[in-house]
Structures are given as C-alpha cells and as structure tokens.
Amino acid sequence: MSEQTDERQEDQAPQQKPGRPANRLKLAKLRDLALIPPIIALLIYGYTLKPDVFLTKSYLVDTVLKYQTELALVVLAEALVLIVGKFDLSLESIVGIAPAVAVFLAVGNTSMLGAPWPTWTVLPVALIFGALIGLFNGLLIVRFKLSAFIVTLAMLIALRGLQLAIVGGATISNLANRVPVIDNLGSLRILTIPLSIWIVVLVFGLGIVVLGYTRIGRSLYAVGGNPDAARAAGIRVERVIWVTLIVAAMLAAFAGLMLSARLGSVAAAQGQNMIFTVFAAAVIGGISLDGGKGSLFGALTGVVLLGLIQNVLTLAEVKPDQIQAVNGLVILVALVLARLTSGKAQD
Amino acid sequence: MDDEQTPVVEAVGVAKRYGPTVALADGRLSVLPGETHGLVGRNGAGKSTLVGVLTGLLKPDAGDVRFNGEPAPSLGDRAGWRRNVACVYQKPSVVGELSVAENLFLHRQPRGRFGLLSPSKLRRAASDLLEEWAVPVAPDVPAKELTVEQRQLVEIAGALSHGARFVILDEPTAQLEARAIARLFDRLATLREQGVTFLFISHHLPEVYEICQRVTVFRDARHVVTAPVAEMDTDALVAAMIGEARELVRLGEDRSPVPADAEPVLELENVAVQGIFEPVDLTVRRGEIVGVAGSAASGKRELAEAVVGLRSRTGTIRAAGRTVRPASVPDSLKAGIGYLPGDRNVDGFVSVLSVAENTTMTVADRLGPAGLVLPKHRDAKARKAIADLDVHTSGPDQLVGELSGGNAQKIVMARALASDPDVLVLVQPTAGVDVRSKESLLGAVDAETRRQRGALLVSDELEDLRVCDRVVVMVAGRVVAEHERGFAEAELVAEIEGIGDV
C-alpha cells in the first residue's frame, strides 16, 4: 500500500515549473496585504459620505479605532489558538468574567475571600483568573484529549452563567471613580492617542515579533501545521498548545478590562456574541481554521476592516434594525473578496 | 489451462506517469476464469497503480483493459466497473458506524411501502447475501465491530453481490494472524470452486505458492514474467522480483571497513517495547551504517521510534556515551540523535511551512540569540542544505508541500542533519522517491557517516541496505540474523519475507 500513497503524493506535488517560484514570496506577502485595498476603498467611501468628519483624526481614532481595541486583542488571542491548530470559544466569556470577578472582589458588595480587596488587585486578579481558565481548558484539551471546540463551548456557557450569578443581572457601574486601573485604561492618553490604542499597537507588535522571529513563535506554526512532524522534530507539542491557550485567555481577560474601562462598568452580558465577530475578523484576515497558517498583521487588518464596515454602515444611515443583517452580508462579501485577492482557499 | 479461454481481465501496455515519476511503464496482466492469480513485486513495482487502473479508479495514459473480451466501461460508469471487478483493500472501505447490512446495500437499499427504505427488507436481503456466500456475520452488527477477517469476507460478499466474479485482494493477509489466514484461504478455495476469480497481491511468497495457480511478477513499473507457480521455484521468483544487480546506486562500494575498536556512537542494551519487539542489543560505531531490515510487522520501525524518543521503551540507550532519557524527543536530539521518520507525509514535514522552516525545525534555538529566530540565519542554513542535498526548489521560502516526493524527502533529511547529530536514525529514507533522489539521499548517508557519524538505517529496500556496513534482520519482533557487507541479496530477501531457514 505504501507504494500507492507515495505515487499519489508525487501526483499531488507536481514539479515546480520554472518561473513560478519567483512569485512565491511575493504571493505570501500579498496575502498579508490582501485587505488593504478594501480598507482604502472603505475610507474613500466613508469620506464621500461625510467629507467634513470622516478622515479627521478625532473620528478615526475616537470613533472607529477606539471601539475596536478590545476586539483586536481577542482576535489576536484567537489567532494564536487557531494557528496552533485548536479552537477557543470561551474567550468571549473570559472577556466578561475576568473583569467581573476582579472588580467584584475589589468593590463588590461581598465579604467573600476577605473582600473588599485593594483596588490595585483588579489588574492582576483579572489576568490570573484568565490564566486559570486557560490552564483548565488546556487540562481538558491537552491532557484529557477532549475536543477543543466542545470543551470551550461548554466553558463559554458555564462562565457566562457564573458571570450572571456574580453581577446578578445588573451592571456594576461607575467604575472609573472607584478603580484607578480602570480609570487609567479608559481615559489616559499618550500624545493625544488613547492608551488602549497604544496597548493594542504594542501587543500586536510584540506578537508579530514573537510569532515571526522566535523559536516558540515558529513552533506554533509547526504544531498547527503538522503536530506529528513537530513532535518528531523535538517540539514539545502539548506544552506549546497549553501555553498558547493560557496566553490567549490572559489576553482575553485584559481585553475585558479594557472594555470595562471604556464603558466604566461591567455588564452581565459583557463580551456576549463577540466570538462570532472574532472568528470573522480572523478568517477574513487570513488565519486558517485548520491551523498552521496566517499572520497577526493579517488578523489586524481583518479587525480594522470590520470596524470600518460598521462605522460606514452607520454613516450611510442604514436603519439600526437592518444594520445587523447588512453587517452579516458585508462580512460574506469581505470573505469572498479576501478569497479572490489571495487566490487561496480558506479553510 | 485451456488456451482458448477468454481472460476475465486482460490489460495490455498500460502506462501511467505522475509528472516525472513513471508509476507504470508496461503493465500487462491476463487472468483466466476460475484461477487465483498471484501478483508480486517489491514496493514501487507498479502493483497498486495497476490495481487502480483495473478498478477504474485511475485513468491510464496508455494501454487497454478488457473484461471477458469486452472493452472496459468508461471511467464515469462506476456501476459498469463494479459489475466486472471488485477490490478488497488493506484499509477498510466500510462505514464503521453503519451496520453490516447497511454497508452491503449502501445507496441501493431495498425500498418498501411509499418508496421509503425498509429496514426489514434490508436485513433479509443482507442475511440472504451473507448466507449465500457463507459469511458467518450477523447483519445488524456495526461494521466497526468486525474483525479484519470478518470485514474482508463482508467486503467480498458485497463485491460479489454487484455481479462481479473477479475480485482483487490487496495484501489481505497483512493484518491477519496465521489461523485467520488459513481460514481465509479455505474460504477463497471454496469461492474459487463456485466460479470466482481472484487476483491475489501479497508480499508473502509462501502464500502465493499455497493458493495461486499462476503468478505475475512486476518490477520497476514493468511486467517481468507470468508463469504457473509450479514452474517457478522461490529462487526464480525472488530473482524476478529483485532483477539483475542494477547499475544505478552503486554507492558505498568503496567504504572502508569500520575498525573494530571504533568508538561506539549509539549503544542499545536490552531495549524493548512491550508487545512490539523483544530486547535488542545493538551497537553503531563511528563511521558505521547499520541496517535494520524486516517486514512491516517486524518491529523495525518501532525500534527506530523508541531510539529517537517517540515511544516509551525499557532498556538503556547511550548516544556518544551519554544515557538518553526514554520517550523524550528533545533529550534524544540533545544527545546527538538525528531522525528521519518513515512516512514523510505523516510526521516528516509541515507542508504549509517553507523549506527554511522545515529544515531548521530541530535547531530553532541556534538561529539567533535569546530564543530569537533570525530569518537571515535560517535562510543561510536552508541554502546550505539545499546545495548540499541538491534539492530542486525555488528557494528557502517555497512551501514544502509544493515539492515533489524526492525533494520533500531531502528536506526531511536536511532536518535530521541540521542538529549536527552524532548518529542518524533513518526509517525507509528512499520510500517512494525517484532514482536520482535515491542516489542523493543515500549518498548523503554515505558521505555523512564518513565524517565520523554513525547511522542506523531501518529499511526493507535492498538499495538502502546495500549501503550498510552491517545489516541485522528482524522478524516478528526479534533480531534473527546479522550480515556483513556483501551479503547474498536473495538470502536476505528470503529472511525478510520469512521463507529462509530461520
């Protein structure tokens, strides 16, 4: 039988034709830039709609980008998990539960675990809580070999329920006055740009360097592309997946804090339904659901594109009750466009 | 047999190529009604390609296939092919979750009232069919619960129910134990009396003598000989399979003998994997290539996997004097063991990553300071590997998935060499690659071991084993023989196939 598979393999891997190789690198880079033309087109379209405001810094920064910062971080987190070849649906619940727990312990109406804790604990508690969820997901997925999709779906539901129990269906509000970390995250500006945007730029920059130019980063691609080959090459496959799940959960927890900071509150439904947009942005940005493929820069352009679409739809005065349907259609169109410009199947 | 008989199947001048690889150059076969016809040949001889053509799954580039004197149906006419020929593969082709009855009548289930499927009719039809061919299996059992033996019988019955009286059996005994093989052969003899014709493919020559009347040998994509088994003894059959000494791949002839006091670079003491192979003692010295030959079930591949840390094992392994932790690939790498896996498509390379990434996967920590991977260093290493191994690629950035089999295998070899190992562990390094790539790959092993490395080369290909300074033969989990360079090839093949006097 081995004979047959080998022959098939030859069949699927045709000899390189001369001339084609030279384009290889260019194509790979092009995939990263595939969304730049539609982004420019949307900018131009937005400008024609509202020439006086659209291309001003205050609009683009404070209306478009600021509202995408949390999404961007969660997309980064999901991109890492997808590249390593797994799924994490629970990220959207972590966006809600991590700040909810941290804030609840600091300013909530409780005496559990010696609460109220000092307000400086909000940031570390949220991150540690996120990490613990990632650790637990990893335990089930890596150690017990359960399906990542179902494990994290169950976690999504369970954590959502836990959050309802903590927040009690109401909203913990007026946080800016009570928690300095939240206040800073929400209102601090550096060189007139909001802190949250700086953070996203920094984290993405760091992520691009780590994924592209470090040993651990490259091992993510190897594990996602072919775990058996990665294992045979001496990569500790299980550990890489586990660490990725923990890092992703911590990023989602931090994104949750930024969302709470922007809103000044923790709502019972914080993060709800976010995961759909996250996957849409990641796939439009060229991250493969099969693992091993995609770049963080591509994912970031996916986020920017979706953010622009939403704003342009508002500017175009699409009725609020129709905006969701139109948004879905536009995402489909964006997927098709990304497929056409990249020339590669999305999987 | 009567020469006037119209062959059940006749193939003439069948050719098939995949890009530069010739899978079949001159496929000829003629199977007479009521006989069991053996088809033998080493890996790559073109047997599977011929089966693909005979079953209508592959379109030949040239040649002609006739069934009972009639031209073969067009490729799209699956039902037409199924009336003429059926094939039972080594891999199951049943849907595990469905019952035996549903599998037998997949997509042609009997209908009952209102045109809906009728489970009772289905069960009755299935048990009639199973009874007709005396298959002792209940129709309600899920197919995944069948033994290999039962599954094969069910597949044969299913094939016969389509009207075909010609069945191809592709290595049906590979996964069966001795008693099951005996039962299968009894059954095949009965079916033959009922007028069923078989084409029987096997690597186990004694089986061919046991149940076949005639045998056809393929070698190097060509038909070599067809003869009644009574007129061909084992020696003649093996000679037909391996051919004259080939002029290509004469590598390693000028290797000087390894001095007996050369430093051991890989030492195995009582190394065993439970249920797979019994304790093995083996030493590879610097500058030595030690071959491990054996059939697929011999445990040779598992031995290699235990050495490189992919399997848990007992016993002691030392590489260049340092004891290696069991079941840890990173520790084996650190100890200086380089590994080329046996099936590059499974764990050899990451097809969506570039040549450079794959080449340097084992040494990602040596491409820059503090865990950084500098693309400049990586590409430089990759370029060196491309030049050293003569890889045909557009450059370090090309995806390995786009390379041909031989070139992809060179990348896997480069990955094994990248860590500058003291000892290379290679499993079937030339499987499914063309002749020129074979030369480069084996040439690399030859050249690298002259540089004071050692190599453990696990293979059942004679061309690989010829390069070795020493070859041990494994059968059923035990080392049964050891040969120095210059061994008699026919004897070695006989030992591997289990027909030697061992």
pLDDT per residue as tens digits for the range B157-198: 988 888 889 999 988 876 677 678 888 899 999 999 989 999
| Selection from A229, A313, A167 nearest residue B362 by Cα | A229
Any B CB within 8 A of A9 CB: yes
Q: Which helix (H) or strand (E) holds B71?
A: strand B70-71
Contact B150, B176 (CB under 8 A): no
* pLDDT of residue A7 exceeding 60: no
In a domain, B115, yes or no: yes
Instruction: Inspect the interface and report whether the beta carbons of B392 and A4 lie closer than 8 Å.
Output: no
- The span from the CA of B358 to the CA of A81, in Å, is 21
Check pLDDT > 80 for residue A5. Answer: no
Say if residue B17 is in the same domain as residue B53: yes
- Of residues A256 and A50, more confidently modeled: A256
For residue B91, which residues of chain A lie inside 8 Å, CB to CB?
A: 1
Q: Answer whether B347 sits within 8 Å of A214, measured CB to CB.
A: no
User: Is residue B310 located within the same domain as residue B443?
Assistant: yes
pLDDT tens string A38-85: 888 888 888 888 888 877 878 888 878 888 899 999 999 999 999 999
- Mark whether B322 and B439 lie in a shared domain: yes
A339 has a chain B CB within 8 A of its CB:
no
Query: B138 with B166, same domain?
Result: no
Question: What percent of chain A shows pLDDT beyond 70?
Answer: 88
Q: What is the pLDDT of residue A85?
A: 93
pLDDT band at A8 (very low <50, low <70, confident <90, very high): very low
Interface contact B373-A7, CB threshold 8 A: no
Average pLDDT (A120-145) is 93
Summarize the confidence of residues B377-395 as an average pLDDT: 88
Element (H, E) at B15: strand B9-18
CATH of the domain at A307: 1.10.3470
Contacts of A345 in chain B (CB under 8 A): none
Strand partners, B282: B268
Domain boundary among B242, B277, B304: B242
CB pairs under 8 A between A and B: 156
- Which of A10-19, A311-320, B330-339, B427-436 has the lowest average pLDDT? A10-19
Range of the domain at B102: 95-145
For the segment B24-45, the average pLDDT, to the nearest whole number, is: 87
How does pLDDT run across B40-56, given as a tens digit for each residue?
887 667 888 899 899 88
Same domain, B176 and B203: yes
Same domain? B208 vs B126: no
CA distance B339 to B328: 13
Asked if residue A170 is part of any domain, the answer here is: yes
A-contacting residues of B 295-314, CB under 8 Å? 308, 310
Tell me, yes or no, if B55 comes closer than 8 A to chain A by beta carbon. no
| pLDDT for the residue A31 | 66
Collect all residues of chain B within an 8 Å Cβ-Cβ radius of residue A214. Answer: 371-373
For residue A253 the two structure tokens come to 């927890």
Same domain, B428 and B340: yes
Q: Is the pLDDT of residue A200 over 60?
A: yes
Mean pLDDT of chain A: 83
One domain, residues B300 and B317: yes
Residue A20 belongs to some domain of the structure = no
Categorize the per-residue pLDDT at A347 as very low, low, confident or very high, splitting at 50, 70 and 90. low
B363 in reach of chain A (CB within 8 A): no
Q: Check if A28 contacts B (Cβ < 8 Å).
A: yes
- Does A13 score more than 60 pLDDT? no
Q: What is the pLDDT of residue A89?
A: 95
Residue A232 and residue B401: Cβ atoms within 8 Å? no
The answer, for A14 touching chain B at a CB cutoff of 8 Å, is yes
In this predicted structure, which of A208-222, A246-260, A314-328 has the lowest mean pLDDT? A314-328
CB-nearest partner of A15 from B19, B91, B333: B19
Task: State the DSSP string of B209-220.
Answer: HHH-SEEEEEET
Find chain B residues with C-beta within 8 A of A230's C-beta: 350, 361
B314 is written with which tokens? 């007992």
Query: Residue B305 sits in a domain of what CATH number?
Result: 3.40.50.300
Q: What is the pTM of this model?
A: 0.73
Instruction: Kindly state whether residue B389 falls inside one of the protein's structural domains.
Output: no
| Whole-number Cα distances in Å, B467 to B157, B462, B486 | 46, 9, 10
The pLDDT of residue B83 is above 80: yes
What pLDDT, on the 0 to 100 scale, is given for residue A344? 59
Which pLDDT score is estimated for B10?
Answer: 93
pLDDT at B435: 67
> Cα–Cα distances in Å, from A112 out to A108, A117, A253?
10, 10, 21
CB B354 within 8 A of CB B397: yes
pLDDT at B9 over 90: yes
Please, what's the b/e burial string for B377-415 (b: 16 or more CB within 10 A of its CB; e: otherwise)? bbbebbbebbebbbbebbbbbbbbbbbbbbbbbbbbbbb
Q: Are residues B237 and B343 in the same domain?
A: no
Higher pLDDT residue, A29 or A133? A133
User: How many separate domains does chain A show?
Assistant: 1
Task: For chain A, say whether B175 makes contact (Cβ under 8 Å).
Answer: no
**C-alpha triplet B406, B407, B411: angle, nearest 5°:** 120
**Better-scored residue on pLDDT, B162 or B22:** B162
Look-up of token digits 């909000």:
A122
More confident residue, A116 or B88: B88
- Expressed in percent and rounded to 5, the helix, strand and coil fractions of chain B are 35, 25, 40
Instruction: Let me know whether B130 and B275 are in one domain.
Output: no
B40: left (phi over 0), alpha (psi -120 to 50) or beta: beta
DSSP string for residues in B315-341: EEEEETTEEPPTT-HHHHHHTTEEEE-
Give mean pLDDT, residues A215-221.
88
Cβ separation of A6 and B431 shorter than 8 Å? Answer: yes
**Interface residue A21 vs chain B (CB under 8 A):** yes
Q: Mind listing the pLDDT tens digit for each residue in B450-479?
A: 878 999 999 877 778 888 999 999 988 889
Q: What is the average pLDDT score of chain B?
A: 86
Chain B interface includes A347 (CB < 8 A):
no
The pLDDT, as a whole number, for residue A207 is: 94
Q: Are the Cβ atoms of A215 and B371 closer than 8 angstroms?
A: yes
Residue with tokens 């047997």: B47
Whether residue A4 has pLDDT greater than 50: no
Higher pLDDT, B340 or B498: B340
**Which tens digits make up the pLDDT trace of B201-248?**
987 778 899 999 999 999 888 899 999 999 988 888 888 887 754 444
> Model confidence at B499, in pLDDT bands (50, 70, 90)?
low
- Containing domain of residue A314, as a range? 33-340
Instruction: Kindly report the backbone phi and psi dihedral angles of residue B473, in degrees, each rounded to the nearest multiple of 5, phi listed first.
Output: -110, 130
Residue B379 domain flag? no
> Which residue in the block uniquely carries the two structure tokens 């595939």?
A34
pLDDT, tens digit, for every residue of B126-149? 999 999 888 889 999 988 888 888
- Of the listed ranges A14-28, A156-170, B214-228, the least confidently predicted one is A14-28
Q: What is the average pLDDT across A98-112?
A: 82
Q: Which letter does DSSP use for residue B293 in this model? A: E
Model ipTM over 0.90: no
Question: Which residues of chain A lie closer than 8 angstroms to B372, CB-CB?
Answer: 213-215
Interface membership of A346 toward B (CB under 8 Å):
no
Determine the Cα–Cα distance for residues A188 and A182; give it in Å rounded to an integer.
10
Task: Count up the domains in chain B and report the number.
Answer: 3
Q: Does B50 touch chain A (CB under 8 A)?
A: no
Which residues, other chains included, contact B50 with Cβ-Cβ below 8 Å and sequence gap of 6+? Answer: B11, B14, B24, B27, B29, B39, B218
Report the length, in residues, of chain A.
347
Of the partner residues B21, B346, B401, the one whose CB lies closest to the CB of residue A7: B21
Residue from A42, A104, A86 nearest A265 by CA: A104
B185 to chain A, any CB pair closer than 8 A? The answer is no
Contact of A31 with chain B, judged by CB distance below 8 Å, is answered with no
Cis peptide before B421 (omega within 30 of 0): no
On whether both B206 and B300 belong to a single domain, the answer is no
Q: Which of B171, B352, B371 comes nearest A293 by C-beta?
A: B352
| pLDDT for res B279 | 92
Q: What is the mean pLDDT of residues A114-134?
A: 89
- Within 10 Å of residue A205's Cβ, how many Cβ atoms? 12
Q: Does B382 touch chain A (CB under 8 A)?
A: no
Q: Is the pLDDT of residue B501 over 70?
A: no
* Residue at A91 is within a domain: yes
Does residue A18 form part of some domain? no
Residue B376 has pLDDT above 70, yes or no: yes
**Searching chain A, which residue's CA lies closest to the CA of residue B392?**
A16
Residue A8 lies in a domain: no
Task: Between A21 and B280, name the one with better pLDDT.
Answer: B280
Asked if B219 and B344 sit in the same domain, the reply is: no
Distance CA A129, CA A122 (A): 10
Average the pLDDT over each of A68-77, A174-183, B372-381 and give the range with the smallest value.
A174-183
Q: Is residue A293 part of a domain?
A: yes
pLDDT band at A338 (very low <50, low <70, confident <90, very high): low
- What lies within 8 Å, CB to CB, of B86 at 6+ separation is B55, B155, B156, B158, B159, B160, B162, B164, B166, B167, B168
Burial class (CB within 10 angstroms; exposed 0-12, middle 13-18, buried 19+) of B261: exposed
Confidence category of residue A331, pLDDT binned at 50, 70, 90: confident
In sequence order, the β-bridge partners of residue B372 are A214
pLDDT at B308 over 90: yes
Interatomic CA distance for residues B292 and B186, integer angstroms = 35
Which of A2, A5, A7, A287 to mutate against chain B (most B CBs within 10 Å)? A7
